[in-house]
Chain A
Amino acid sequence: MRFEFNELQLELRQVVGAFLDGLNPTHTLLSPEKTDETKAWAQAAELGLLGLNAPEAVGGLAGGPVTVAALLEVMGNRHWSSPYLSTVAIGLDALSFSPDQRWVEAIVKGDLQVTLAVLEGRGSLALTDLESTVRGGQIFGRKNFVLHGGAADLFLVVAREAGGHLGLFAVEASAVGLTVCGEAAMDPGRPLATITFEGTPCQRLGGGDAVERILNRAQLYSAAESLGGAQACLDLAVSYAKDRHQFGRPIGSFQAIQHHCAEMLLQVESARSAVYAAAHAAEHEREETAMQIAMAQATASEAFFFCAGTCIQVLGGIAITWEHPVHLFFKRAQGSRTLWGDPSFQRRRFIALGGLDRPLAEAP
């Protein structure tokens, strides 16, 4: 039993950490000058990060969910605001269903950015209110809350096929009958868009199974990002509590502050267990994978939100300024919590997936 990443994964985490420290994503987001994000993306391609889970045949590393989650945790920790999750973690996976491997190759090279266009109406991940349809190879409908939608080259769209069944489709941004309406967002690193399809040509990637698979994976990887973010907030709070003095002593020696930090650690460590176990289940295609992912997303998104909020409290007034990066984490935490199924949604899912009926003592 080894409840930890392997040597290669640990090494990759170091590489990504060093790369992102060089980019300094929070600084970039907060500075008034517009920075050139395409350079960072090209660097990521050079490092091989954009082929993380692509087949070796196209120059990828063929990493499974544990490896992908391991790196997304680091990206969340450094607050990288790229479409890595949707392009690489999900895009490569979804497009591997496509007979045409051009897209996969373009992603690995850094020439194609992908985003998910899933939510409609008020944005429930239950997808019961989904109205987009595909008829004769053309897609009709409107997608809301599309992350990085303005910059994407390709959309992965969930829509209904004949009979009302869900299907997964790829749509190029340059296709006819497609309108992208960019929207500013509370989280400056995550611009949104509304996408309208009016008879836009699309390619079918799969049916309900494919939809379920990529949505599950997206929730898992978002949970991994949240775990990294939660740890970042805990670390910010602890180091500040050691330095900052009031009443003649470090604020970290006040029990109220100590106990805030202890509560954060409890949540971070619990999120870590849940995320790693879910990634492991996904990697081995365990039957209970979806249930584990529901747990991971509920636990990690809650941990992130709690830690970001508590970190603000520990920091005091400085945390309410634009200059201090903690607000970026706070905004991200709120977004990750709501976009990928908030904790109460996940608890309903957990029940539906048999969470109240399964024995406890299978192998962990």
Chain B
Amino acid sequence: MDLSLQTEDRTFQDEVREWLEEQLAGDWQHLRGRGGPSDEDALIEERKLWEQHLGANRWTCLSWPQLAGGRALSLVQEVLFHEAYAAAQGPGRLGHIGETLLGPTLIHHGSDEQKGRFLPAIQQGTDYWCQGYSEPNAGSDLAGVQTRAEVRDGQWVLTGQKTWTSLAHVADWCFVLCRTELGSQRHQGLSYLLVPMDQPGVTIRPIKQITGTSEFNEVFFDGAVTELGHCVGAPGDGWAVAMATLGFERGASTFGQQLNFFNELQDITNAAKQNGCFDDPLIQDRLAQSWMELRVMRLNAWRMIHHLQTDQPSAVGAINKLYWARWHRKMGELAMDVLGPASQRAQTDGELTRLQRVFLFSRADTIYAGSNEIQKTLIAERALGLPRSAR
């Protein structure tokens, strides 16, 4: 058992911290701490400039192979970057969908032409992506996708509707899972198309969320077009590519998220000490439970990293999403109980407070990226090898 970092990793950590501190104390100070969960809409244009600054200094796409424009850094160094970024209160990322979802998909399944066309722009922070999977009738059951595309006049033409599309309103491109074989069912006959957002056939309608802000959107395709060559994998093989996209996340970003959780829980603890409810043994007990679980969450994540690095199956990796999503939701409830009736009071300008937004938006954590129920079924079937349940 050796839980210490290697010297070169410490050096890397120092380098990241120093660079971020210098930037965020200087020219980019106005972006510090902005654009996080339920503040996604803040300062979009400035944050895109920041992303380009990151790219120019090679702080994006750290884990990508060098040939693809990345730095092929180890998983541990990627973790350290995410931790340092969160600790420095780096602005909420906009390029992460391209960097962590589409990029790796193209690296593994894209044509040379697609790689050449799309990867550099992701690395440089000039192209932003959104994920067009979910539809009104295809949520957890993604194979129910109904959006259609056909080839007409040498290009793909799309018709249909996507929903819950995060950051579609800031994206240049969308990777769309759609049906390209007439009359096909379920996982068959789907394709994975790369579609430009800025065109007459695409309409984006922001959806006002539980917090009053809008991070996700409805996206309508009505004769939207894209080049024939913008299909990843063969036409009809879209399901496999779409699933591959979901498998690339290596778990490094979970560490950055944990530091944000840490800050939130610290605010809640301070609030309890200030308003006196810390004297309530039941509140103390819940705070202690929450803090312990946050620490366990972090240990779990490190153990998962160890497994990934050594190519072992990771049971602890399988429970990560369920663990943090449920923990965060419970933390949101604790925040409100700590504040008491004052939890109902918004800010004087009518905006919700940070903890109110956390309380409300944490309800989404247990729904997206595999709801708790879906996660538990996956754990049972994949990590524990139980027989498939009825679908």
Q: B376 to A263, Cβ gap below 8 A?
A: yes
Q: How far apart are the CA atoms of A241 and B302 in the complex, in Å?
A: 31
Nearest-neighbour CB distance to chain A for B286, whole angstroms, equals 9
B54 beta carbon closer than 8 Å to chain A:
no
Q: B4 to A1, Cβ gap below 8 A?
A: yes
Which of B4, B269, B284, B292 has the most chain A CB atoms inside 10 A of its CB? B292
Nearest-neighbour CB distance to chain A for B255, whole angstroms, equals 8
The residue from B259, B288, B316, B390 contacting A348, defined by CB atoms under 8 A apart = B288
Binds A, one of B145-153, B237-245, B378-386: B378-386
Q: B306 to A261, Cβ gap below 8 A?
A: no
Binds B, one of A85-93, A94-102, A168-176, A350-358: A350-358
The residue from B4, B6, B87, B309 contacting A361, defined by CB atoms under 8 A apart = B87
With contacts A1-B305, A276-B1, A364-B298 taken as known, whether A355 is within 8 angstroms of B387 at the C-beta atoms is no
Q: A3 to B306, Cβ gap below 8 A?
A: yes
With contacts A266-B322, A274-B299 taken as known, whether A253 is within 8 angstroms of B389 at the C-beta atoms is yes
Q: Which residues of B contact A266 (CB under 8 A)?
A: 319, 322-323, 379
A273 beta carbon closer than 8 Å to chain B:
yes
Q: B3 to A363, Cβ gap below 8 A?
A: yes
Q: Which residues of B contact A347 (CB under 8 A)?
A: 284-285, 288-289, 292
Q: Which residues of B (367-385) have their CB < 8 Å from a CB of A?
A: 373, 375-377, 379-381, 383-385
A318 beta carbon closer than 8 Å to chain B:
no
Which of A6, A255, A356 has the most chain B CB atoms inside 10 A of its CB? A356
With contacts A259-B377, A347-B285, A361-B87 taken as known, whether A356 is within 8 angstroms of B291 at the C-beta atoms is yes
Which of A265, A283, A359 has the most chain B CB atoms inside 10 A of its CB? A265
Q: Which residues of A contact B259 (CB under 8 A)?
A: 360-361
Q: A4 to B306, Cβ gap below 8 A?
A: yes
B296 beta carbon closer than 8 Å to chain A:
yes
Q: Which residues of A contact B315 (CB under 8 A)?
A: 265, 269
Interface size range on A against B:
35 or more
B83 beta carbon closer than 8 Å to chain A:
yes
Q: Which residues of A (1-16) have their CB < 8 Å from a CB of B?
A: 1-6
Q: How far apart are the CA atoms of A336 and B290 in the complex, in Å?
A: 23
B2 beta carbon closer than 8 Å to chain A:
yes
The chain B residue with its CB closest to the CB of A253 is B387
Interface string of B1-29 (1 = CB under 8 A from A): 11111100000000000000000000000
A201 beta carbon closer than 8 Å to chain B:
no
Q: Which residues of B contact A4 (CB under 8 A)?
A: 1, 306, 310
Q: A66 to B375, Cβ gap below 8 A?
A: no
Q: How far apart are the CA atoms of A6 and B388 in the complex, in Å?
A: 36
B231 beta carbon closer than 8 Å to chain A:
no
Q: B300 to A299, Cβ gap below 8 A?
A: no
Q: Which residues of A contact B262 (CB under 8 A)?
A: 359-361
With contacts A6-B1, A253-B386 taken as known, whether A273 is within 8 angstroms of B306 at the C-beta atoms is no
Q: How far apart are the CA atoms of A7 and B3 in the complex, in Å?
A: 16
Nearest-neighbour CB distance to chain A for B307, whole angstroms, equals 8
Q: Which residues of B (268-302) have their CB < 8 Å from a CB of A?
A: 269, 284-285, 287-289, 291-296, 298-300, 302
Q: Which residues of B contact A254 (CB under 8 A)?
A: 389
Which of A269, A273, A348 has the most chain B CB atoms inside 10 A of its CB? A269
The residue from B76, B288, B388 contacting A351, defined by CB atoms under 8 A apart = B288
Q: Which residues of B contact A238 (CB under 8 A)?
A: 384-386
The A interface is mostly helix, strand or loop, or mixed, namely helix
With contacts A1-B4, A4-B1, A253-B389 taken as known, whether A277 is within 8 angstroms of B299 at the C-beta atoms is yes
Q: Which residues of A contact B379 (CB under 8 A)?
A: 261-262, 265-266
Q: A259 to B292, Cβ gap below 8 A?
A: no
Q: B303 to A3, Cβ gap below 8 A?
A: yes
A270 beta carbon closer than 8 Å to chain B:
yes
A232 beta carbon closer than 8 Å to chain B:
no
The chain A residue with its CB closest to the CB of B281 is A348
The residue from B288, B289, B323, B387 contacting A249, defined by CB atoms under 8 A apart = B387
Q: B5 to A1, Cβ gap below 8 A?
A: yes
Q: Which residues of A contact B1 (CB under 8 A)?
A: 2-6, 66, 276, 279-280, 283
B170 beta carbon closer than 8 Å to chain A:
no
With contacts A270-B323, A277-B3 taken as known, whether A360 is within 8 angstroms of B306 at the C-beta atoms is no
Q: B284 to A351, Cβ gap below 8 A?
A: yes
B180 beta carbon closer than 8 Å to chain A:
no
With contacts A253-B386, A280-B1 taken as known, whether A259 is within 8 angstroms of B376 at the C-beta atoms is yes
The chain B residue with its CB closest to the CB of A235 is B384
Q: B380 to A252, Cβ gap below 8 A?
A: yes
Q: How far apart are the CA atoms of A252 and B379 in the complex, in Å?
A: 12
Q: B287 to A356, Cβ gap below 8 A?
A: yes
Q: Which residues of A contact B318 (CB under 8 A)?
A: 265
Q: A350 to B376, Cβ gap below 8 A?
A: no
Q: Which residues of B contact A5 (CB under 8 A)?
A: 1
With contacts A344-B285, A360-B259 taken as known, whether A258 is within 8 angstroms of B380 at the C-beta atoms is yes
Q: Which residues of B contact A344 (CB under 8 A)?
A: 285
Q: Which residues of A (21-73) have their CB < 8 Å from a CB of B?
A: 66
The residue from B2, B288, B298, B383 contacting A355, defined by CB atoms under 8 A apart = B288
Q: A273 to B289, Cβ gap below 8 A?
A: no
Q: Which residues of B contact A3 (CB under 8 A)?
A: 1, 3, 302-303, 305-306
Q: B316 to A273, Cβ gap below 8 A?
A: yes
A74 beta carbon closer than 8 Å to chain B:
no
Q: Which residues of A contact B316 (CB under 8 A)?
A: 269-270, 272-273
Known: A1-B2, A344-B285. 10 other contacts (CB 8 A): A3-B305, A3-B306, A238-B386, A255-B376, A258-B381, A265-B318, A266-B322, A272-B316, A274-B296, A348-B285
12 contacts between A and B (CB under 8 A): A1-B302, A3-B303, A3-B306, A255-B377, A259-B377, A266-B323, A269-B319, A270-B293, A280-B3, A356-B269, A359-B262, A364-B299
Give the 4 A-B residue pairs with the shortest CB-CB distance, closest first.
Answer: A258-B380, A347-B288, A273-B299, A262-B379
